[in-house]
């Protein structure tokens, strides 16, 4: 019977149930607005992070291209001959695995590019 009394009570010519329902509706509206604003802020943060990821992916791509350029065998050969005086191995210097013991027993011959002691 107390429950039915709530439906009949009035406060300043408004039923108490109507006032409670209005208060709940206002709380729900404010809560949904707050959650929507919070979600938009998180979305903006996500967009910023995705932009950073895209920039880092582009930088990784550029660094890989630079590594490929620096490791180019033609470039390394050109720089080694220009700055170090190195040249490709002469075919006369190559040997077979069977001839390695004989080569190891021979005294070392001075090469053309080294100074004699």
- 3-class secondary-structure state, position 95: coil
Q: What whole-number distance in Å separates Cα of residue 72 and Cα of residue 52?
A: 30
Please indicate whether residue 62 or residue 91 has the higher confidence score (pLDDT): 62
Instruction: Find how far residue 107's CA is from the centre of its chain.
Output: 55
Please indicate whether residue 63 or residue 20 has the higher confidence score (pLDDT): 63
**pLDDT on residue 79:** 93
Q: What whole-number distance in Å separates Cα of residue 112 and Cα of residue 92?
A: 14
**Highest averaged pLDDT of the listed ranges 59-63, 77-81, 83-87, 97-101:** 59-63
Of 24, 18, 26, nearest in space to 7 by CA: 18
Under 8 Å between Cβ of 7 and 15: yes
Q: What whole-number distance in Å separates Cα of residue 39 and Cα of residue 47?
A: 12
9 Cβ partners below 8 Å, 6+ apart? Answer: 15, 16
């Amino acid at each position: 019977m107390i429950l039915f009394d709530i439906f009949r009570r009035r406060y300043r010519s408004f039923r108490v149930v109507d006032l409670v329902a209005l208060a709940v509706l206002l709380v729900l509206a404010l809560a949904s607005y707050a959650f929507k604003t919070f979600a938009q802020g998180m979305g903006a943060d996500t967009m910023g992070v995705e932009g950073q990821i895209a920039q880092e992916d582009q930088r990784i791509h550029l660094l890989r291209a630079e590594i490929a350029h620096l490791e180019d065998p033609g470039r390394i050969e050109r720089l080694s001959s220009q700055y170090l005086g190195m040249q490709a191995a002469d075919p006369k210097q190559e040997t077979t695995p069977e001839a390695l013991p004989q080569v190891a027993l021979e005294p070392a011959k001075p090469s053309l590019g080294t100074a004699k002691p």
